[in-house]
A and B are shown apart, each in its own frame.
Chain A
Amino acid sequence: MTILLEQEIRDALDTVKDPEIDAVSILDLGMFEAMEWTETAVGYDVRITLLPTFLGCPALEIIQKNTESALLQVPRVNTVKVVFLFDPPWTSDRITEQGIAGLKSFGIAPPRVVDGKWEIDCPYCGSTFVSIENLFGPTACRSILYCKSCKNPFEAMKPVSTLM
């Protein structure tokens, strides 16, 4: 029963997409940290812990609401509480393989840190011959770049790492 519920919750979390990048879910981004529940006569009271990517990210509130409504669709789930914690800190190495593929399909270079330095490959042609046009992009977590090989502008997700 509990294994089934856990799987159902995970499936529901996988339907919650980043409001600004609908190719990746909060699971793909590694924002999910923990789930707990207590059983009552009327069903389950579920508590989900998420890790914010950037502390001032205005999308957090939307993610919180979307997570709540997705989980309320799960059978027997009665109440949902979503909390954000900054400890442990979210770091970009929490993004899954599937998340990396999703970002690329959206034209966003996934964050990559090699030897404490930010490495950026063009999501279209894979070239590393790129220039940073603006460190700050349309959202807190993204930068604007230009590929000098295939001449495409693109965005990159900023690495967030304790190594930098």
Chain B
Amino acid sequence: MTEAERLALASLLYQLADDDFLYAYRGSEWLGLAPHIEEDVASSSIAQDSMGHAAMYYQLLEEIGEGKADALAHVRLAHERKNSVLVERVNGPGYYMENPEYDWAYAVVRNYCYTLAKKVRIDSLKKSSYAPLAALAVKINMELYYHLLHWQTWFTQLYQSTETARQKMDAALERVLADFGDLFDYGEATQLIDEMQLMEDQGVLLDRWYQALTPVLVDLNVTLPEMNMTYNGRNGEHSPDLNDALSTLGEVYLLDQSAVW
């Protein structure tokens, strides 16, 4: 592997790792606030699995010489992060310790859209030319099955409940799609990721995502809003929400850097 190729591989791994890391963090903020106790258990279990997935990607980064996995997760600054903007967005106004006014419809739509995209990406990674990544994808896929089932159930049930719920879901879908444009993007590493056959073309993946989502939306009589990109997270461009998340996450880690998390 040339140095340029190693960097392209690292870029892809950072995208995958940072996505699951922030996704897990936003999920964990719902602890104690989810609509009911069963959901509290489910959400935190999914967040825990996802944090486990992030940890494995950081581990693969450590193995290609990027530094210690724990440090990669916790001390990199916002402009070094390659996660999609979608997963860094706050759950709603307020902090979870103080007057949280979190939006459950947004959580459900974001989690469903993200998990469906993760499924498409993981299926592609199973065929990656980088063998350790392909093997990890096989393992993650087995856990993902349950996450997708869970969020798809919430998504369809909320859309089929009251008129108010439907309006909230529509508004959430609008916001999620406004940030969705960088999710399948590979940013500056696109060309090498393609040449090295690390993962399939973003257009191919996006088509698969639409194909998987369309029958669900048709059943619910929902029209998908236009997809946009506010920032390209894959190139280190982020909303201010990411800084806040990182300082909270970093606080715990910097208290005791030798602790196992």
Nearest chain A CB to B10 CB, angstrom units: 19
A56-B55, A89-B135 given; name 10 further pairs at CB < 8 Å: A55-B140, A55-B143, A61-B260, A86-B136, A87-B132, A87-B135, A133-B38, A135-B146, A137-B41, A139-B45
Residue of A136, A137, A139, A161 ringed by the most chain B CB atoms within 10 A: A136
Q: Does B68 contact A (CB under 8 A)?
A: no
Question: Nearest chain A CB to B98's CB is how many angstroms away?
Answer: 27
* Contact present for A134 and B52 (CB under 8 Å): no
Most buried by A among B49, B142, B143: B142
**Secondary structure dominating the interface of B:** helix
6 of the cross-chain contacts (CB-CB < 8 Å) are A56-B50, A56-B51, A89-B138, A89-B139, A137-B41, A140-B48
Please give the number of chain A residues whose Cβ is less than 8 angstroms from any Cβ of chain B in the complex. Answer: 25
How many angstroms between the C-alpha atoms of A91 and B145 in the bound complex? Answer: 14
In the complex the two chains form, what is the Cα distance from A133 to B48 in whole Å? 20
Q: How far is the CB of A88 from chain B (nearest CB, A)?
A: 8
Q: Is B56 an interface residue (CB 8 A)?
A: yes
Task: Say yes or no: A55 contacts B45, CB within 8 Å.
Answer: no
User: Which residues of the partner chain A approach B145 to less than 8 Å between Cβ atoms?
Assistant: 164
| Distance in Å: Cβ of A46 to nearest Cβ of chain B | 22
Interface presence of A162 (CB below 8 A) = yes
Shortest Cβ distance from B24 into A: residue: A56
Contact A56 B52 (CB under 8 A): yes
A137 / chain B contacts, CB cutoff of 8 Å: 41, 45
Please give the distance in Å from A98's CB to the nearest CB on chain B.
23
A63 CB, min distance to chain B CBs, angstroms: 14
Q: In whole angstroms, how far apart are the Cα atoms of A110 and B108 in the complex?
A: 30
Question: Shortest CB–CB separation between residue B210 and chain A, in angstroms?
Answer: 23
Residue of A nearest to B41 (CB): A136
CA distance A164 to B55 in the complex (A): 24
Q: Mark A153-164, 1 if CB is under 8 A from B, else 0.
A: 000001011101
Q: Which residues of B contact A164 (CB under 8 A)?
A: 142, 145
